[in-house]
Amino acid sequence: MINVNKTAIRVIAISIVLLTSGYLFTQSFYYQNHFNANDYNDIITKPSVLSNTNKAPQRISFPDDYFHYGSFYQHENPETLTYPHNRFKAAFITFVKNDKASLSKLRFTVRNLEDQFNKHHHYPYIIFTDQDLDDEFRELASSLAGEATMRFEKVGSDLYGYEPTTDLKKAEEARIALNNTMFGDSEDYRFQSRFMAGTIYRHPLMQELDYSWRFEAGTEYICPMEEDPFQFMYENKKTTSFSMALYEYRETIPTLFQTVLDYASKHSHWIQPSGDPKTLWHFVLDENNMFNGCHLWNNFQIADVSFYRGEKYQSFFNYLDTANGIFYERWGDPVIQSLGATLFLTKDDIHFWDNIGYRVANYFTHCPSEKSLYSRCTCRPEENFDFNGYSCLKFY
């Protein structure tokens, strides 16, 4: 009797499944032949439209801002920065635009910096921009900084814009002439180059800093950092630092080096002698004593801010700024800062971060060569840009 009942139950259950499947199939076939693709939104958002198949489904309308979440976010920009100790003041700095892509890149790198280093130290962030960043942007970015403070600072056209004497027509002609070169046709690239090369150090927030860690949104730090790079710079009295060196496009700097030499001839009492092997002259000069285009990349740069806001460097930057090569050609901030270091510093003042893994644009990679380091990194030593033919590290 028991076996009969179990068999009957199985038959009934299977019958129910088959009947239900058949019903659902016929309903699906019906709707596929009676509703067009534009009705799909109605079906999933208002199931009641399926209850009466004799009536055409009614579309549901939403307010224009229905899916906008900006009103969910509120952000108070901190008035002051909090530093982790009183021996020196140091902060991360960068420049961003107010768009979704920039926000995503910024969040990626901040998350990366926090995970690899700053969650143990809580150095603050200064996010410069020339645009108004909404609450959503600021909240989503700052929420990743953990216990570190993050301040957003809008800069004016005096710092982010044309040099006062720039001939705008001539600048436009230069962008047209360089439209086949990377960033050659970009006005905004030149604004940012001028800002990051020199005018940023005139900003009030930069006056209180001893050290800055410049990072670029979207870049990646691919190894955990147990040592504090800020503390290393402070204890070893280093002025600036880098992790990669490469060539500049020659077509973007046809008169730059001559302008640098002109400045050097007028300020010879400040200039490092070219015969000193500790200087960078051998790094930037070829066998004919002409500029070879080599420069230290500064999208990852930890530096003593007092050098860049000081009399020597600012005098040099102002000379190049009024020459307007940033706008009449396409002088980039890495090559400007590298030539400034050549004039005023020696290799003893500069640190090469061989132990910090770093990646730009998912291509340019510095991967530590020691197994104790790369075994903890998300890179392979053979990816190291130092071995690339376009690297200038071999001349350093």
| pLDDT tens profile 152-183 | 999 999 999 999 999 999 999 999 999 999 99
Mean of pLDDT values over 237-246: 98
pLDDT surpasses 50 at 42: no
Mean of pLDDT values over 35-55: 44
pLDDT of residue 385: 94
Mean of pLDDT values over 183-201: 98
Flag the least confident range among 2-11, 60-69, 329-338. Answer: 2-11
pLDDT surpasses 80 at 20: no
| pLDDT tens profile 84-114 | 989 999 999 999 999 999 999 999 999 999 9
pLDDT surpasses 50 at 259: yes
Q: What is the pTM of this model?
A: 0.82
Mean of pLDDT values over 171-200: 98
Confidence of residue 62 (pLDDT cuts 50, 70, 90): low
Write the DSSP assignment of 172-227 as a string of letters.
HHHHHHTTTSTTTT-HHHHHHHHHHHTGGGGSHHHHS-SEEEE--TT-EE-S---S
pLDDT of residue 369: 84
Question: Which domains are assigned to the chain?
Answer: 90-395 (3.90.550.10)
Q: What percentage of the chain exceeds 70 in pLDDT?
A: 82
CA atoms within 13 A on the CB side of 299: 20
| pLDDT tens profile 303-316 | 999 999 999 999 99
Residue 282 has a CB neighbour count (10 Å cut-off) of 15
Any residues with CB less than 8 A from the CB of 70 and at least 6 apart, and which?
A: 134, 135, 136
| CA distance linking residue 71 with residue 138, whole number of Å | 13
Residue predicted with more confidence, 346 or 69: 346
